[in-house]
């Protein structure tokens, strides 16, 4: 049974990565896509049913809108990529016990170009 639980854990991890890949495809498209179109844009060998399941999960989480496209649904992101990423960063910051320490560690991981962009956004004297 240990093998089964390890496999289930690997599937959950892969599912999170697959969600990210599907979101990237949809953000890159700029228009609603059916499950078949998303499947075609992803790595070969991924089952249609898997794509459909992940799209349904993303819709249930409120990350996607869906509209009728013939007998199927077409999916599109509710938020643009930058907004979704910013929301994830805010959620991570909110989970930290010491917000200043979390921000400090984050700044230490930035490359110089990102640090310069952040300083420019904060304005002079910040």
**Strands (DSSP E) along 1-126, which ranges?**
33-34, 64-69, 72-77
Contact criterion met (CB below 8 Å) for 85 and 77: no
Residue 115 CA from chain centroid, whole number: 23
pLDDT of residue 5: 42
34-69 burial: b if 16+ Cβ within 10 Å, else e:
bbebbbebbeeebeeeebbebbeebeeeebbebeee
Report pLDDT digits (tens) over 28-61. 998 999 999 999 999 888 999 999 999 999 999 9
Report pLDDT digits (tens) over 89-125. 898 889 888 989 888 998 899 999 999 999 899 987 6
Beta partners for residue 33, in sequence order: 75
């Amino acid at each position: 049974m240990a093998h089964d639980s390890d496999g289930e854990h690997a599937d959950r991890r892969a599912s999170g990565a697959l969600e990210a890949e599907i979101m990237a495809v949809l953000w890159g498209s700029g228009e609603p896509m059916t499950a078949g179109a998303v499947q075609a844009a992803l790595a070969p060998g991924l089952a249609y049913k898997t794509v459909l399941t992940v799209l349904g999960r993303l819709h249930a989480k409120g990350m996607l809108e869906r509209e009728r496209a013939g007998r199927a649904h077409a999916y599109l992101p509710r938020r643009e990529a930058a907004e979704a990423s910013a929301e994830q960063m805010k959620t991570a910051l909110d989970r930290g016990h010491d917000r200043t320490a979390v921000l400090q560690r984050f700044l230490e991981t930035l490359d110089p170009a990102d640090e310069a962009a952040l300083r420019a956004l904060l304005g002079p004297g910040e």
